[in-house]
Structure formats: C-alpha cells, structure tokens
Amino acid sequence: MLNIVTSPLRQIYYRIFWGTPFKKCFYLDFLRLFFWLYPRFSFIYLKNCLKGNEDRKNKGRRSKKYICVQLDPSEGVGLQLFSWIAAKEISRRHGLTFVHRGFAYDPHSPECNWDNFFGFGEGEIQYGEITKEPNLQMIELPRLNFYYLKRAQKILLDFIVHKAYPNYEKVMFMMGYNTVLSNPSVYQLLSERYFRRREISPIQSPFRERAVKIVLHIRRGDILWIKEHGRLREILGVDYYQRVLNKVQTILKDYDLDVHLYTNVRQDKALSDYANQEGIMLHFADESADSGYQAFHAMATADILVVGRSTFSYHAGMISRGIKIMSPDTFSELLPPKNKLWMESDSQTKEFDADLFGRVFREYWDKSAH
C-alpha cells in the first residue's frame, strides 16, 4: 500500500530535481531519502535493528545470498539480455552468487533457444535447484537504471543487500523488470563467451570473403508511425538508414562492399523495393527457424553495423569488434560508448562525421584480418 503512494512521489522527484543543483541532495542525503522512496526495505532494516540479540547469536554463520534475473515473457531477447547483464554485474559488485534462469519465450523469435545460442547456464547454479532449498526468501529488487544513477544506485543496493537482509539469512534477490545496465566489463565477458560458443557451434557467415561486411538492422517499430504531440511521425524512418548507407558507400567507394539488411518484419513491400533498388541482400524474420541466430551473428561479426532502434542490435554492437553507427534517437537511456569504434550521428541532421569515419575505418581495416 505504501509503495502505491511513494511510487508517484519518486517519479515526481526524478522529473523535478534530476539535472538541477538539487540532485546533489540525492547523493549527499540518499539514505534519508531511501526511507520514503523505498519504505518496504526501510521497515525491514528497522526490524533487523531490533533483533540485535539474534544477530549476535548468528554472527559468523555463512550467509547464502543469490541473485537471479526476473524475466518478462512479453519482452524480446534484447531486454532479457539487459537483465542478465545487470544480474552479472551486481553479483560481482556485491559478492552474490549468480543463479542461471533460462530465457523466457521470445515473441520475436519463438523458435530460438537463446540459452543454447549464447551458452548460458553451463557450469552455473540453476534456478530450479535453488528454489528447492528450505527457508529461502525471494526478494524482488526495485527497477533500477544504472546508466544514469550509478553512485546512488550503488548506495541503494549496498543498503538492501547488506543492511536490510543480515548475513545469516538465505536470500535470493530477483532483478527488477527491465533493469538497464551498460557495463563494458560484463560485455567483455559476454563477447568472450559468445565467440567461444561459436567455435563449438558455428554459424555460417552470409558475407563474401575479403569484402567489407556491412549490416543494417531495421526493427519493425522503426517503420511504424506513432502519434506524438498530436502528429504522426516515424520512430526512426527507413530514410535514415538510406542516408547513412549512401554516405558509407560514398566514403568507401574504392572497396568491395557486401551489404545485408536484417529485420524482424515478416514481409514489407517498401523494404523489398528499397533492397532490390540498392542491391542489398534482405533477410526477413520468417526466412528460417534460426533467422534470429543469423541476424545476431551477422551484426556481431560485421565490419560496419548500423544499429537499429533495438536492444537486440545494441547488444550485438557491444560485443562486435567492428565499427558501429548509432542515432542518438535510438534510446533515451543508452548512449554510444565513448570509443572511436562507435559513431554517433547528429540528432538533427542524422549525419555522422565522414572524415572521422574514414580515418577510423582505414585504421580498423589495416589491423583486421580480411
């Protein structure tokens, strides 16, 4: 009941004070704010403070604390991967044992077994094993956005993990739905695991040998129209991808280019006409049962990836060793990593720096094996 009251208050606080000088009080006096932002954990903490004798009695006993993803079956594999990344990072940061829980049904690729594709769960504790343990408490963590509130969220998690639940308790923390965490160290782990998995279970490359491999990923939502401020507009129209590709082709006119377009659209005449006109190899989502695997692998191994407005292509870009071009309109909470292999197009013109791209590509091409 208290959460029903405080949830709107949290949103009002974020909207009014975040990005202003008042945000400092969010850091400096975070624990005080915590008591009314998250009263559930505050009351648990106060209850534990009154159990001082029991704490002393159980002092020195080994605690069992786990963390596991909480999956939303209505979300695609992209958002589910964010939950996995967040749980991995929190387990490392707070000394929790990571528990594997398989991907939920993916509405975009219902035939794909993503656990097998990524090699998840191998050598890890399984969710079904832990839930059989007696006296296990399952605690849902609040939904967190680590991209913006890194310091504040660390304090919050420290409080929940180490104060609200004492060391002698057996607890499994469940990640809040759609928790976003973009951490390079976790993506490095994901990249190593992914390419090691491809050595065991290879996927045939769609690209020509010695050609510059270019992939565009256009999500279904990019070519739909939405109503915003009383007007209809495309989220990220096909014309954006056309302008980016035309510019890349102009800069790399002396190279052999092999261009592929992947989409989760089943069929679309406009995309087909565009691909035929430009000589692009178009891959629809219903071409084969493993079309999701092929799309991710093509993006992860491309020399140049034009990232769509999709967490699916964002993850592929994060483990890719090639050059990525990303629109600032792609996500509100995710920005391109600060390294030269990520090119951000201008928010107004949707253009990217051609000179910088040319220099980075030549350096990349000279170092890569092709």
**Which tens digit of pLDDT belongs to each residue from 244-278?**
999 999 999 999 999 999 887 777 777 787 788 77
Q: Quote the pLDDT of residue 30.
A: 47
For 306, the 3-state DSSP assignment is strand
Distance CA 133, CA 78 (A): 31
Average pLDDT in the chain: 76
Domain ranges of the chain: 38-184, 210-367
Can you tell me the distance from the alpha carbon of 342 to that of 257, in angstroms, rounded to the nearest whole number?
A: 20
Stretch 124-138: mean pLDDT: 89
28 pLDDT tier (thresholds 50, 70, 90): very low
Identify the weakest region by mean pLDDT among 2-11, 34-43, 123-132, 358-367.
2-11
**Phi/psi at 89 (nearest 5 deg)?**
-70, -40
Element at 145 (helix H, strand E): none
Listed residue (41, 72, 66) closest to 131, CA to CA:
66
Q: What is d(CA 55, CA 69) in angstroms, rounded to the nearest whole number?
A: 29
Q: Does domain 210-367 have CATH number 3.40.50?
A: yes
- Give the C-alpha separation, 222 to 264, whole Å: 11
Strands 281-283 and 257-263 come out as: parallel
| pLDDT at 25 exceeding the cut of 60 | no
Q: What are the DSSP E strand ranges found in 135-202?
A: 137-140, 170-174
In tens, the pLDDT along 120-130 reads: 988 889 999 98
Average pLDDT for 69-89? 83
| Position 228 pLDDT exceeds 50 | no
